[in-house]
Amino acid sequence: MTARLGLFITLEGGEGAGKSTAAQGLKAMLEAEGLPVLLTREPGGTAGAEAIRALLLGEVPLTPLAQTMLHFAARADHVERVIRPALDEGRVVICDRFYDSTMAYQASGLGVPVESITALIHLIGLHPDITFLLDLPEEISRARVASRAAATDRYEAMDSGFFTRVTHGFRGIAAAEPGRFVQIDAAAAPEQVVEQMRAAIRARAGR
């Protein structure tokens, strides 16, 4: 793989973990330090990927493998048009979800074989430098989701067994790659969540 200038940071976690707030806080913190930052999300981040997002989060029936391939179709467009060019320019890219979400939701949650997803990850060929897993005790996650309005998309409408598998899936992926993952206590106040991420980035930069 070719060397790149920028830093690729991804945020992962189950429903209600506060990823979007954390991503915005991290962006503001890095910009305050003078770094050029691009904040983006998956599924989405380009016109094509946002169109695929609407399909993925909508109600059209799709098998788990079809969902997986659509998540990767969106990702391929997003990586080639937005993420790689930004990294090549030396920017810090913060992406709210990336391929670990497919492993957690489609493999652990829906039973798609891990090898199928590994093959698609290989095709994408871009790996995060740091992945923050915003981890919440299951009861807090469940309470946060329950306090929201009715489920608004395909995944929010899943049963609690699905969310338990997703949570355990994320923890297993993080444990298998301790060099890339940093687990963040997502039950902490938003500013403390950003502080945990700042400390981890500093620690890595100092290595």
Near ligand TMP in 62-121, by CB under 6 A:
71, 97, 101-102, 105-106
In the complex, minimum distance from the CB of residue 43 to ligand TMP, in angstroms, rounded to a whole number: 5
Secondary structure element (H or E) that encloses residue 38, with its range: strand 37-41
Q: Does 170 bind ligand TMP (CB under 6 A)?
A: no
| 43, 45, 128, 169: residue in contact with ligand TMP (rule CB under 6 A) | 43
In the complex, minimum distance from the CB of residue 194 to ligand TMP, in angstroms, rounded to a whole number: 18
Alpha carbon of 16 to those of 144, 146, 155: distances in Å?
A: 6, 9, 12
H runs (alpha helix) in the chain: 19-32, 47-57, 64-78, 84-88, 99-101, 114-124, 138-146, 160-176, 190-205
In the complex, minimum distance from the CB of residue 6 to ligand TMP, in angstroms, rounded to a whole number: 20
Residues sharing a CB contact under 8 Å with residue 203, sequence separation 6 or more, in sequence order: none
Nearest residue (CB) to ligand TMP, 54 versus 143? 54
Q: Does 181 bind ligand TMP (CB under 6 A)?
A: no
| 82, 130, 136, 155: residue in contact with ligand TMP (rule CB under 6 A) | 155
Nearest residue (CB) to ligand TMP, 33 versus 78? 78
Q: Does 42 bind ligand TMP (CB under 6 A)?
A: yes
Cβ pair 5, 129 in contact under 8 A: no
Residues sharing a CB contact under 8 Å with residue 124, sequence separation 6 or more, in sequence order: 72, 75, 76, 79, 99
Residues that bind ligand TMP (CB under 6 A): 42-43, 71, 97, 101-102, 105-106, 155
